[in-house]
């Protein structure tokens, strides 16, 4: 049953990623009631630890993007959940706290569409369900860059698209030594609020149960 749930989460993430944009009544970043989700599979320490299907959400703060030629820094608390397996064991869905800092740089404007270069300069994941001594961070040596577009669609509403390609590292020793991901950068994409993902996942679980009867 647990493997079925993992498959359902993966399917829900894939389906939600295909809708990779949100519409909000504010252009603040990161958008409230939204998530960044990824479909990548990351390996650390020669595959000793593996992570997949991450969801980054529950942002505690958002702020306006920069104006023409400007740069802003956005810092906020958040939550990350992912399927994690250790030493080849069965993956478990774990949730942890995440402190994040993102730099947003004005790039261009085409009509009502504003374009920004972004870079995640901090992502510190710890606590929660993670085993003692296990933490994940954004790489301090490799840039985790992205792109965000904000389109004014009228009526005080904005269509926002965003992604990041994130390099991560993992420690099993509380930060004494770090293992960089062996899978390269993992892409996370902005999608609608977590409630949409949860509702879709529950629907897929119910459908799977009916088919098994």
Task: Look at residue 197 and tell me whether its pLDDT is greater than 80.
Answer: no
pLDDT tens profile 107-148: 999 999 999 999 999 999 999 999 999 999 999 999 999 999
Of 210, 213, 205, nearest to 4 by C-alpha is: 205
Strands (E), the chain: 22-24, 35-38, 41-44, 49-57, 71-86, 92-110, 113-126, 135-138, 144-154, 157-166, 168-171, 179-180, 186-191
Q: How wide is the angle at C-alpha 182 spanned by C-alphas 42 and 123, nearest 5°?
A: 60
Domain boundaries along the sequence of the chain: 20-191
pLDDT at 31: 95
The span from the CA of 10 to the CA of 202, in Å, is: 12
Bridge partner residues of 49 (DSSP)? 44, 86
The model's pTM = 0.82
């Amino acid at each position: 049953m647990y493997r079925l749930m993992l498959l359902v989460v993966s399917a829900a993430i894939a389906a939600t990623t295909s809708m990779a944009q949100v519409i909000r009544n504010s252009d603040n970043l990161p958008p409230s009631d939204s998530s960044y989700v990824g479909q990548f599979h990351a390996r650390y320490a020669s595959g000793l630890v593996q992570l997949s299907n991450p969801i980054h959400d529950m942002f505690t703060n958002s702020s306006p993007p920069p104006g023409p030629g400007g740069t802003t820094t956005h810092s906020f608390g958040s939550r990350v959940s992912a399927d994690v397996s250790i030493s080849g064991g069965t993956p478990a869905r774990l949730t942890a706290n995440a402190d994040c800092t993102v730099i947003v740089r004005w790039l261009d404007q085409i009509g009502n569409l504003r374009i920004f270069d972004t870079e995640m300069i901090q992502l510190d994941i710890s606590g929660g369900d993670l085993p003692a001594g296990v933490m994940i961070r954004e790489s301090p040596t490799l840039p985790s860059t992205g792109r965000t577009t904000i389109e004014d669609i009228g009526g005080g509403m904005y269509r926002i698209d965003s992604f990041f390609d994130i390099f991560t590292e993992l420690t099993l020793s509380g930060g004494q030594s770090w293992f960089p991901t062996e899978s390269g950068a993992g892409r996370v994409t902005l999608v609608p609020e977590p409630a949409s993902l949860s509702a879709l996942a529950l629907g897929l679980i119910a459908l799977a149960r009916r088919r098994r009867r």
